[in-house]
Structures are given as C-alpha cells and as structure tokens.
Chains A and B, each alone.
Chain A
C-alpha cells in the first residue's frame, strides 16, 4: 500500500491560496467596518438634529473627553515641544540657523503633530473608555433596556460621544499647540540661549493663521473618526467580556491607523 504525500508545488499552491484567502477576508472586514462606521455616522447625524436634545449627556461627554484630557494632552504637548526644539537646534546649529527653531517647531506642531498627538491621546484615554462602556452595556442588555424604555440608544449614547469627539479634539489640538510652543520656547531661550526676540519674531514671520486652521480642521476630522470608530466597535460588541476586550483592541488599532491615514489624505488635499 502506498501513501500519497502532497507534492511541493501543491503545498506551495495551498499556502498561496490560504494567504490570498486571509488577505481577502481581512479586506472584506475592513470594507465592512468602513461601511458600518459611515452608516452609523449618518444615523448619528439624523438623531443629532431630532428632539429631545440631551444637553446633560453632551456636557458629560464634553467634560469626559475634553476637560478630562487636559492634563495628559498638556503634558504631552510640552514635552513634544521641548524635545523637538532640542533636536532641531542641534541640526540647525550645523549651518548657523538656530533662529529657525521657533518657526520649525511652530509649523510642525500647528499643521501636523498637535492634531495627531491630541487625537492619539483622546483615543487612548477616552476612546478606549467609550468602547468598553458601550460594549459592556451591549453585552449586559443595557442597550436593549434603553430601547424597550422607548429611549433611542443612538440618540442617548452615541450622539453625545461623537459630538464630544468632534468638538473637543480641535480644542485639545489648540492646547497642544500652546503647551508645545511654551515647551519649545523654554528649551530654546533658557536652555539653548536663543534670543527671545529672535524666537518670537521668526515664528511670527513664518507662521500664518491658515497653519493653525489646518491643524484645527484635522483635529475635528480625527476626533470625529476616532469617536465613530470607538462607538461602532463598542456598540456592536458581542460575546461577553472577551468580546468587549477584543472590540476595544480593534477600536484602538483602527482609530490609530485612521488618524495617520486621514492625516495624509487631508494634508494632501490641503496642499
């Protein structure tokens, strides 16, 4: 009796088919998530303009997402500004251009880094909490309970969270700009001996209000995306505690990726 062993080309073909299948499944998941997030976004918009306007819930979320993130965003901003000033001054010193430290830090922060870092901080601090809370409410039937009490869960739970992301990430971006520039000023002026007048006048010379607006627009887009993704993943969680944990992990990865991808797309559109 002979036993047939799969030939080498067959094994290779099998592995190739498996990897293509895996890629296809992943792609379908991504498209399904994007579709789900967009559909949920439209639903949230519809319910956000309907009465009753739940201002209490909105202010609670504004407080949680915005006020609660002030410390961490402020701290991250100041250290980013400080380290950025330190590193750029070393490079600029090579061709006697230390006077450009201020505008370089300012342009990088206002156009790019502040919005990206503020959104990442909100994702980690508030987005994860949003996803876990909604997921726990879903698996413990609290969302169903709202529905049976004639309270629309989209309007009650999701609208305030998404609006909070939309409004507060730009505000935190502005905070990041401020603390980042303060940190850069301290390092440049007190640590590296750059004249305060040079630092400020050069920054003013190279900066335009449109640089700040660009960052704020990006902040609003990132805030909306992060809140929508975290709400979508949490609201559709299933499978008990493990399912909620998995949904939160997926929400964090998808949010972080979406921030970088959107940053590139929006940056390209603006320039």
Chain B
C-alpha cells in the first residue's frame, strides 16, 4: 500500500507472473485540466485488475491509454514488454489486435446480426473460410451461454445482459491477450450484474486472458478482481488485493467503500 501523500501508490506485488500491462509515471492533461498525474500500475498476465473510482477520476482516460487511443504527455505504457507510446498508427493497429474491448453499452453494430457482429473481427483480420468462422463464432457464443438461435437476431432485439455477452463474444473471438471492460455493469439490474460478473470470470478462466475492468460498482469489483487499483483525482491512491483495499486507510477509499460496506 502506498503512503497517503505519494503521487501514486506503488504497484501491487505481481508475484511470479510476468506483467502484461505496465504503466509507468503516466501524465495526461486536457487543456488546463490535469486528468492523470503520475500513474504507476502493473497488471500481471492472466489476472483481473479492476480500476475503481468515482465519476471524473480519470478511469476511462487511463483505459484509452492502454489501447493507444490517447497519447500521454509523458510516461510509458508497456504492453507485453513493448512500449506503445512512441508507436506509429500501423504499429498500434497491430497491438490492438491483441486487445478485446467490451463497451458500457456493448457498442454492437446495429446494422449487423449477432453472428455478423461476432464474425466481424475474424473477417477483418483473418482469411479463415466461412465454415471455420461459423464454427468459431458458435463456440464463442456458447462460451457466453448464448444459444445458436440468437445468431440471426439484431442487437436491438436483445436484452442489456445479452448485448453485453455478445459484446464479450466479439471481444474474445480473435483470442486476445487482454480484454478491457468499460463499466460493464452500469445500468444493469442485480441479477444481470451477477451474470456479467460470471461472464468476466468465465473469460478469464477459459481463455486465460488478462482482464482490466473500469468500474465504480464496488460489489462487482470485489466479485471479479484479483487486484483493485483505486483512482482518485488522477492518481492511484491504493493498489492491491480486494482484502487490502478493504483495510485501506486512505480517506478517499474509505469514503467510497462506506457507500457500499456501510450499508451491508
């Protein structure tokens, strides 16, 4: 645990696993607003890291740096041993193929069926024959507990939870090394939230992916996380296991956790 006055808490112990994501002293400013002020974060391969924090704390900006959608003012973003900050557009395209991303509202292409959505990355980046694509899409949908009947439905005909499942099936269809989840449980009822948590755990267990979850949902974070990093005002003020976070003495963390644990 980092000292209260440090600009950013040191990374939690990564054990023997090699780091998949290593963020070093990351700074980002928009105009005169400092959004990230010295982020240090290490996510070991195959683990699930939840970045927890309130609205406007810089979670989404941090995630966008991980996939190269934003360039930092200074600092390093090392993905699987390679710093992506100085990379060209073509280099970043290559790196992004090892990522899958699940959006808050799933961001499925509404002009395509479920099958076409999940098959989209395969059609763009592989030369697999149609039979192999069909087989792979079916397996991924099955892994997400979706029946083959949904294949021909359009996103508008699916429930919120089903859309999230299709979104994850699409995110993992190219067998990525990392899956990023942008507030996956926001706006869902408790039962659907549980099923989304289950889906995140399944993806990690069955596919061995490294997962990074951006969330302000404390219950969900404690359900899925191996590691929780707490972001407040552009700085990671706590970083450790869920148990370590619960015992944190940081005022920002305590106030945030009280909203949940204070009630339970």
Decide: A140 near B120, CB < 8 A? Known: A145-B101, A148-B101: no
Band of interface residues on A: 10 to 19
B110 at the interface (CB under 8 A from A): yes
**Chain A proximity mask over B87-119: 1 for CB below 8 Å, otherwise 0:** 001000110110111011101111100000000
B96–A148 contact, CB under 8 A?
yes
User: What are 25 A-B pairs at a CB distance below 8 A?
Assistant: A133-B111, A136-B110, A141-B104, A141-B105, A141-B107, A142-B109, A142-B110, A144-B69, A145-B107, A145-B108, A147-B69, A147-B96, A148-B67, A148-B69, A148-B100, A148-B101, A148-B180, A149-B101, A149-B120, A149-B124, A150-B93, A150-B94, A150-B124, A152-B89, A152-B93
A3 to chain B, nearest CB (A): 39
**Chain B proximity mask over A215-250: 1 for CB below 8 Å, otherwise 0:** 000000000000000000000000000000000000
Q: Mostly helix, strand, loop or mixed at chain A's interface? A: helix
Q: Given the complex of chains A and B, what is the CA–CA distance between A239 and B104 in angstroms?
A: 16
B121–A142 contact, CB under 8 A?
no
Please give 16 more A-B residue pairs, beta carbons under 8 A apart, in addition to A141-B103, A145-B103.
Answer: A136-B110, A140-B110, A141-B107, A144-B107, A145-B101, A145-B108, A148-B67, A148-B96, A148-B100, A149-B101, A149-B120, A149-B121, A149-B124, A150-B94, A150-B96, A150-B124
Which residue on A lies nearest to B97, using beta carbons?
A150
B125 at the interface (CB under 8 A from A): yes
Q: Given the complex of chains A and B, what is the CA–CA distance between A224 and B37 in angstroms?
A: 44
Which B residues are CB-close (under 8 A) to A39? none
Which B residues are CB-close (under 8 A) to A137? 109
Q: Given the complex of chains A and B, what is the CA–CA distance between A125 and B121 in angstroms?
A: 31
**Shortest beta-carbon contacts, A-B, top 3:** A141-B107, A150-B96, A145-B107
Which residue on A lies nearest to B101, using beta carbons?
A148
A179 to chain B, nearest CB (A): 31
Q: Given the complex of chains A and B, what is the CA–CA distance between A144 and B109 in angstroms?
A: 11
**Chain B proximity mask over A174-188: 1 for CB below 8 Å, otherwise 0:** 000000000000000
Residue tally, chain B, CB below 8 Å to A: 23
Interface residues of B in 38-69 (CB under 8 A from A): 67, 69
Q: Given the complex of chains A and B, what is the CA–CA distance between A140 and B93 in angstroms?
A: 22
Which residue on B lies nearest to A156, using beta carbons?
B124
Which A residues are CB-close (under 8 A) to B108? 142, 145
A59 to chain B, nearest CB (A): 16
Which B residues are CB-close (under 8 A) to A149? 96, 101, 120-121, 124
A34 at the interface (CB under 8 A from B): no
Decide: A140 near B97, CB < 8 A? Known: A147-B69, A148-B67: no
Q: Given the complex of chains A and B, what is the CA–CA distance between A97 and B82 in angstroms?
A: 80
A148–B93 contact, CB under 8 A?
no
A151 at the interface (CB under 8 A from B): yes
Q: Given the complex of chains A and B, what is the CA–CA distance between A149 and B180 in angstroms?
A: 12
A136 to chain B, nearest CB (A): 8
Decide: A148 near B99, CB < 8 A? Known: A140-B110, A142-B110: yes
A117 to chain B, nearest CB (A): 29
Partner of B107, one of A142, A150, A151, A152: A142
Which B residues are CB-close (under 8 A) to A152? 89, 93
A172 to chain B, nearest CB (A): 24
Q: Given the complex of chains A and B, what is the CA–CA distance between A140 and B105 in angstroms?
A: 7
